[in-house]
Amino acid sequence: MKIAVIGQSLFGQEVYCHLRKEGYEVVGVFTVPDKNGKADPLGLEAEKDGVPVFKFPRWREKGQALPDVVAKYQALGAELNVLPFCSQFIPMEVRATYEGIQKKETAKINWEQPAEAIHNWIRGNDKVPGAWTEACGQKLTFFNSMLNTAGLVPEGEALPIPGAHRPGVVTKAGLILFGNDDRMLLVKNIQLEDGKMIPASHFFRGEDSSALELTEAELVTMEAVRSAWKRILPNVLEVEDSTDFFKSGAASVDVVRLVEEVKELCDGVELENEDVYMATTFKDFIQLLVRKLRGDDKESECIIDYVEMTVNKLTLRMPHQLFIGGTFVDAEGAKTYETINPTDGSVICQVSLAQVSDVDKAVAAAKDAFENGLWGKISARDRGRLLYRLADLMEQHQEELATIEALDAGAVYTLALKTHVGMSIQTFRYFAGWCDKIQGSTIPINQARPNRNLTLTRKEPIGVCGIVIPWNYPLMMLSWKTAACLAAGNTVVIKPAQVTPLTALKFAELTLKAGIPKGVINILPGSGSLVGQRLSDHPDVRKIGFTGSTEVGKHIMKSCALSNVKKVSLELGGKSPLIIFADCDLSKAVQMGMSSVFFNKGENCIAAGRLFIEDSIHDQFVQKVVEEVKKMKIGNPLDRDTNHGPQNHQAHLRKLIEYCQRGVKEGATLVCGGNQVPRPGFFFEPTVFTDVEDHMFIAKEESFGPVMVISRFADGDMDTVLSRANATEFGLASGVFTRDIGKALYVSDKLEAGTVFINTYNKTDVAAPFGGFKQSGFGKDLGEAALNEYLRVKTVTFEY
Amino acid sequence: MATTNGAVENGPPDKKPPALPRPIRNLEVKFTKVFINNEWHESTSGKKFATYNPSTLEQICEVEEGDKPDVDKAVEAAHAAFQRGSPWRRLDALNRGRLLHQLADLVERDRAVLATLETMDTGKPFLHAFFIDLEGCIKTLRYFAGWADKIQGRTIPTDDNVVCFTRHEPIGVCGAITPWNFPLLMLVWKLAPALCCGNTIVVKPAEQTPLTALYLGSLIKEVGFPPGVVNIVPGFGPTVGAAMSSHPRISKIAFTGSIEVGKLVKEAASRSNLKRVTLELGGKNPCIVCADADLDLAVECAHQGIFFNQGQCCTAASRVFVEEQVYPEFVRRSVERARKRPVGDPFDARTEHGPQIDQNQFDKILALIESGKKEGARLECGGSAMEDRGLFVKPTVFSEVTDTMRIAKEEIFGPVQPILKFKTIEEVIRRANSLEYGLTAAVFTKNLDKALKLASALESGTVWINCYNAIYAQAPFGGFKMSGNGRELGEYALSEYTEVKTVTIKLDDKDP
């Protein structure tokens, strides 16, 4: 066989000698020019044998093959090129034409065989001549086949292939083909009949995605940008279409410089650091820039089908579909359900109801975004900037978000503005600042003498996380978990409560506006039994963060264990004790005691579930509370003077009525309330029970509604009241009112709860960790501690 | 010696409280020379100085008097011991910790000897030396022993494709200049973190009290610290102290003592080689007693706060502010308590109060007492030296003290309790914060709001609430304002004895 050797170095020489020894005819040797008068060993050896030696400094210029070089090569008539240690770019034109191995016409794919055989056929014909098939009216040649398709979902546009068992599917990962055994293989590249090679995933992009033809003016701009690249990348001899900004040694400071230079060059075109990360080669960068300059870069902007509504002097625009991979889509089978306004029981709109297959799609999107997307490539600081921007956007839309919360969850608007939405914004800001401060440790370990060791720990994101949240603070609970999860660098699939999906979907829209890469956040309204269950079971989800009932929490933990030992954190129910001592500031205790129970209609996981009042002030306390309850304004949550809105949904209201009936039946004294308010919607009266004894149902079980449960304790009997307060399987929060420093510290030490409030209540803060003891769950939201719930520690040990 | 191991076999343990520890009578002082490279040296100059028992005014022994050449030798040894590849530098962190633990074991073994030496040299009551000074030394050594292999750097996320981490490395040769009020304890506060972080150290004990430091040298050697890791040069401030502060090869110096000398140390440090400096200086510490306080507790704590160690504490409660409603009662009970304070032979187990350290201090205290009388404070009790003995000063209480009097402004460092009156919280905060000192403060109140408000408002490195002199090896100690720089004890102390090195490794951007 006639062989051309293209290469250099001692290794090249060795290969050359070996080929000759095996009896092959080396028709020519191409090697590098002499350096400092010294010839390369490969050339030297060939010259000894009288083999023609060529020393071209390059084979092409500005992307074009040099004709004289190609002519010299072709004159040799080589059938095969051998390239040992070849450091030069060899153009396509320099291709050996040995046809003895495979001829194109014999490389046609036979579809009547299993996937593995097809894969082997494509692989065997890879490079030359390429395995092909007839499809879409032309000859398509497939390259770069993979049999390992684990985790791939055949979702995409069908590519019909005559003779194939099933049509191919063009996905983001490439073209999926099927064998007659129904198993899949993946092809990464397709060569079209005209010889053009494209990524298989781009097959259907058509003309639209093909390169723009640049105008004269744009060509001038291109050359100006090219020289900017040259200035920034001094090590690159020539900036070609394929030159990659980062592979040429650019650092983040160079990104800023490029962005600024191009902005100045192009009169302040809107260009951001992320754009450079998205289009790293010169060609892609120019294409992106020209699109921006022409103003047609908006193609990616998602078209959202909004439900529009004018309420609260605002026009609400509410997305109502599933949010998967950065787009709003219908659920499988276009399934929907109604979401209800608890103030009057009316239907707000139809919302897509996610199915199991939708969960799989969302998880695949999140997985792809985690493994291949921009999210994992941008720096921690840039991740933080995106989260800050998201917080800013949430702030810009705070009235809209608070109004949606009032409609969908019955949240009192003024409270929603401050708490539901206000704290959500603060949470994202707080965690945005953490992104580039997630530090591991360097640890002194015992040295393996005579060598030495170095041990580092790195805190890494876990991967795809599932977050399942409740209906009491729909946006805030989403934010508490999602902000920490994203700050740590994970991607996420969120299931909002089925009864309160709308702020989550509005949030989804804002993440698009903030520029959070597609697939990082996916939101699926739906039922716990389908969506929550599938997330807990899913093999690609590595962590579940859940807030909800203890019963469901246990079920989730079990599913997490059985599926793939997912990491899990649970923030569950509570029956938080509030102990009020006689030496307290009584008016403050009454005011805080009221909000400990009635805040957010009692739909508050840290609500004081039991109040223990010291005997000597008990009657006075009850009297004052009753006076205050009478002053509460029950009404439409959108009215600014309302301080008590409707319960979240009808089933919850029914449970509250039963809860109070049971309290009365077991002998507690109903001081006020206990009934539904006689008006439309799901309103429940603020309720006060006294003489509650420890054995009663209402002393033990959470109401999750506006029900104050008061028990008394003997004057000075601190230890008994402590043991009564701790006699519960819950341990979320607790409170104490006293002026005595000794008592306050003693009680805070003895209370078995994740949070102890002293002379205050409900005072949570984004910087302070929050989470329960005992059956109230484990794992913290908020504060630095929350980050650890979404990180895994890797220990790296070196020896040197 | 009894062991606890036999307790089970021998039936229930004895209910009787353990016998009080006894001082070693007629203790022979064995270690009086300069300690360098685990060897005992005579001073280069051949000079010696005497050290006295302040209780009897008798000379205990003579000690080699170091000077600059001895400091140079010590630093050279410490420097050699710190060289890359030396046994000390090659020692695993874990084993560094073990050596410190073993040192603690030996201090515990020789506890009675060390306490006896301390009492001989300082005049402090033997039981205080045994239960407070030595207890503190052992706990501090063990605390930092545990830190040795936990001195962690960080791995840090950055903007570029790099691995970035920090190493917390020892600084090098450290100097420690220690005072005479708690000679061994103040030394251990410096030595333990310095060694735990992997430094080497040169120590100058106070010239009044060099004996326990030198004894510790013998234990360092016995434990097997490599030669040169610890070096001890007895001598005087203007010679040894000055040579250390300005030594170009000492990279860090820690000093406990007066503000005046602290300034000299820092100045010499900056003039020479900008060595790192931590200073723990004087205090004029407010002790605030609110009307709602447990008065018995407040009286006792304020009393111990000022009279403990004969008033020779940088933490001394030397400005007691009492809310006016309880002022007369507080003064009455404080005087009663001061009158009852047992003064006498420090080796007597009943003694709470011994002599002052030396004539200088004695004279200075009496002068300040005189100024108090002259400036119109009411002398409630004490106010003079004990008639029959040398350096003893009677526990003294002044009432009706005002902010402008010298006894309310200057550090007395003696058994003198000035009691001031206040009306409102805002007023007492302003007055407490009005001096340039800021070491400690104490608050006595049962009210939660007042306690937390004062804790945040007082400008001092430590605030004690309903307690006094509550110092723990785990909790940082140091001053605000002119009471010092830096912190001793706790995890914070580690940062005073380490340099942070940032290592940044560029990763290949090209695909691997």
Going from N- to C-terminal start, the domains of chain A cover 2-82, 106-202, 216-294, 306-571, 576-770
Question: Do residues B198 and B51 both lie within one domain?
Answer: yes
Question: Do residues B180 and B303 both lie within one domain?
Answer: no
Say whether B451 and A436 touch across the interface (CB within 8 A): no
List, in order, residues 6 or more apart from A397 with CB less than 8 Å away.
A506, A510
Query: What percent of chain A stands above pLDDT 70?
Result: 97
Q: Hey, what are A476's tokens?
A: 């805030």
* pLDDT interval class at A698 (50, 70, 90): very high
Summarize the confidence of residues A378-389 as an average pLDDT. Answer: 93
Question: Would you say residue B289 lies in a domain?
Answer: yes
Cα–Cα distance list, A681 to A128, A675, A678, A707, B415 (Å): 72, 13, 9, 19, 76
Q: Hey, what are B265's tokens?
A: 């140390």
Say whether B446 and A740 touch across the interface (CB within 8 A): yes
Residue A480 has pLDDT above 80, yes or no: yes
**Rounded CA gap, A580 and A570, in Å?**
29
Say whether B447 and A246 touch across the interface (CB within 8 A): no
- Whole-number average pLDDT of chain B: 95
- Whole-number average pLDDT of chain A: 91
Domain A576-770 belongs to what topology? Aldehyde Dehydrogenase; Chain A, domain 2 (3.40.309)
Residue A193 has pLDDT above 50, yes or no: yes
Amino acid identity, position A640 = R
DSSP 8-state code for residue A532: I
Torsion of CA B290, B294, B299, B300, to 10 degrees: -140
Taking CA–CA distances from A741, the nearest residue in chain B reads B448
pLDDT of A311 reads: 94
User: Tokens 């040799």 map to which residue?
Assistant: A76
Which of A154-158, A743-747, B158-162 reaches the highest mean pLDDT? A743-747
Containing structural domain, residue B188: 34-281+487-499
B509 contacts on A by Cβ (under 8 Å): 246-250
Question: Do residues B247 and B295 both lie within one domain?
Answer: no
Q: Hey, what are A262's tokens?
A: 């191009």
* A742 near B CB under 8 A: yes
Say whether A741 and B451 touch across the interface (CB within 8 A): yes
B400 is catalytic: no
B505 contacts on A by Cβ (under 8 Å): none
Say whether B153 and A441 touch across the interface (CB within 8 A): yes
Choose the mutation target among B152, B164, B294 for the interface with A, i.e. most A CBs under 10 Å: B152
**Rounded CA gap, B112 and B130, in Å?**
7
A442 contacts on B by Cβ (under 8 Å): 152-155, 165-168
Report the predicted TM-score, pTM, of the whole model to 2 decimal places.
0.80
Taking CA–CA distances from A744, the nearest residue in chain B reads B448
- CATH code assigned to A2-82: 3.40.50.170
Per-residue pLDDT tens digits for A434-453: 999 999 999 999 999 889 99
Closest CA to A190 of A131, A113, A149, A147: A131
List, in order, residues 6 or more apart from B364 with CB less than 8 Å away.
B412, B413, B414
Q: Hey, what are B193's tokens?
A: 């973190």
* pLDDT interval class at A164 (50, 70, 90): confident
DSSP SS3 for A654: helix
Q: How far is A757 from chain B (nearest CA, A)?
A: 13
**Rounded CA gap, B279 and B298, in Å?**
30
pLDDT of A79 reads: 83
pLDDT of A503 reads: 98
Question: Would you say residue B481 lies in a domain?
Answer: no
Question: Do residues B332 and B456 both lie within one domain?
Answer: yes
**Rounded CA gap, A685 and A563, in Å?**
44
Pairing of strands A174-178, A168-171: antiparallel
Superfamily of domain covering A106-202: Formyl transferase, C-terminal domain (3.10.25.10)
**Rounded CA gap, A67 and A87, in Å?**
20
Say whether B446 and A742 touch across the interface (CB within 8 A): yes
Question: Do residues B136 and B252 both lie within one domain?
Answer: yes
pLDDT of A301 reads: 56
Choose the mutation target among A741, A757, A759 for the interface with B, i.e. most B CBs under 10 Å: A741
Residue A766 has pLDDT above 90, yes or no: yes
Q: How far is B224 from chain A (nearest CA, A)?
A: 19
pLDDT of B3 reads: 40
* pLDDT interval class at A106 (50, 70, 90): confident
Q: How far is B157 from chain A (nearest CA, A)?
A: 6
Summarize the confidence of residues A89-103 as an average pLDDT. Answer: 62
Q: Answer yes or no: are the C-beta atoms of B214 and B35 closer than 8 Å.
A: yes
Residue B15 has pLDDT above 70, yes or no: no
Closest CA to B471 of B145, B189, B130, B278: B189
* A759 near B CB under 8 A: yes
* A10 near B CB under 8 A: no
Per-residue pLDDT tens digits for B251-289: 999 999 999 999 999 999 999 999 999 999 999 999 999
> For chain B, which residues lie within 8 Å of any Cβ of chain A, measuring from their own Cβ?
90, 92-94, 149-161, 163, 165-168, 445-449, 451, 465-466, 509-511
Choose the mutation target among B150, B158, B166, B509 for the interface with A, i.e. most A CBs under 10 Å: B509
Question: Would you say residue B24 lies in a domain?
Answer: no
pLDDT of A91 reads: 75
List, in order, residues 6 or more apart from A401 with CB less than 8 Å away.
A394, A416, A420, A421, A424, A475, A503, A506, A507
Question: Do residues B303 and B428 both lie within one domain?
Answer: yes
DSSP SS3 for A779: coil
Exposure of B29 in the CB half-sphere (CA atoms within 13 A): 25
Q: How far is B95 from chain A (nearest CA, A)?
A: 9
List, in order, residues 6 or more apart from A521 with CB less than 8 Å away.
A323, A482, A486, A491, A492, A494, A508, A511
* pLDDT interval class at A296 (50, 70, 90): low
pLDDT of A156 reads: 81
Domain A306-571 belongs to what topology? Aldehyde Dehydrogenase; Chain A, domain 1 (3.40.605)
**Rounded CA gap, A613 and A71, in Å?**
100
* A456 near B CB under 8 A: yes
Per-residue pLDDT tens digits for A513-561: 999 999 999 999 999 999 999 999 999 999 999 999 999 999 999 999 9
Question: Would you say residue B77 lies in a domain?
Answer: yes
Q: Answer yes or no: are the C-beta atoms of A633 and A644 closer than 8 Å.
A: yes
Closest CA to A142 of A197, A70, A79: A197
Choosing from B118, B207, B280, B380, the catalytic residue is B280
CATH of the domain at B434: 3.40.309.10
B160 contacts on A by Cβ (under 8 Å): 251-252, 379
* pLDDT interval class at B1 (50, 70, 90): very low
**Rounded CA gap, B423 and A354, in Å?**
69
Question: Would you say residue B6 lies in a domain?
Answer: no
Per-residue pLDDT tens digits for A419-428: 999 999 999 9
* pLDDT interval class at B7 (50, 70, 90): very low
Chain centroid, CA B112 distance in Å: 20
Q: What strand order describes the sheet that includes A521-523? A: A327-329, A322-324, A521-523, A491-495, A464-468, A541-547, A567-571, A777-778
Dihedral sign of CA atoms B500, B504, B505, B511 in order: positive
Q: Answer yes or no: are the C-beta atoms of A230 and A246 closer than 8 Å.
A: no
* pLDDT interval class at A208 (50, 70, 90): very low
**Rounded CA gap, A752 and A799, in Å?**
46
Q: Hey, what are A574's tokens?
A: 């509570």
Q: Hey, what are A724's tokens?
A: 């009564």
Catalytic residue set of A: 571
List, in order, residues 6 or more apart from B4 with CB less than 8 Å away.
none
Where residue A26 falls (left for φ over 0; alpha for ψ -120 to 50; beta otherwise) is beta
pLDDT of A206 reads: 57
Q: How far is B155 from chain A (nearest CA, A)?
A: 5
Choose the mutation target among B89, B151, B165 for the interface with A, i.e. most A CBs under 10 Å: B165
Amino acid identity, position A30 = F
DSSP SS3 for B59: strand
Exposure of B368 in the CB half-sphere (CA atoms within 13 A): 24
Closest CA to A639 of A315, A343, A309: A343
Question: Do residues B243 and B350 both lie within one domain?
Answer: no
Number of A/B CB contacts below 8 angstroms equals: 88
Say whether A740 and B94 touch across the interface (CB within 8 A): no
**Rounded CA gap, B320 and A111, in Å?**
97
The three state secondary structure string of A213-271 is CCCHHHHHHHHHHHHHHHHHCCCCCCCCCCCECCCCCCCHHHHHHHHHHHHHHCCCCCC
Max alpha carbon distance in chain A (Å)? 114
Question: Would you say residue B9 lies in a domain?
Answer: no
Query: What percent of chain A stands above pLDDT 90?
Result: 61
User: Tokens 């000759």 map to which residue?
Assistant: A20
Domain A216-294 belongs to what topology? 1.10.1200
Amino acid identity, position A324 = I
Among A93-102, A349-358, B232-241, where is mean pLDDT lowest?
A93-102
Closest CA to B213 of B315, B329, B338, B121: B121
Cα–Cα distance list, B473 to A775, B493, B495 (Å): 37, 10, 15
Q: Answer yes or no: are the C-beta atoms of A96 and A81 closer than 8 Å.
A: yes
Cα–Cα distance list, B34 to A171, B31, B213, B218 (Å): 81, 9, 11, 11
Question: Do residues B159 and B208 both lie within one domain?
Answer: yes
Question: Would you say residue B390 lies in a domain?
Answer: yes
* A588 near B CB under 8 A: no
B512 contacts on A by Cβ (under 8 Å): none
Number of structural domains found in chain B:
2
Q: How far is B510 from chain A (nearest CA, A)?
A: 5
Max alpha carbon distance in chain B (Å)? 89
**Rounded CA gap, A375 and A383, in Å?**
7
Question: Do residues B238 and B93 both lie within one domain?
Answer: yes
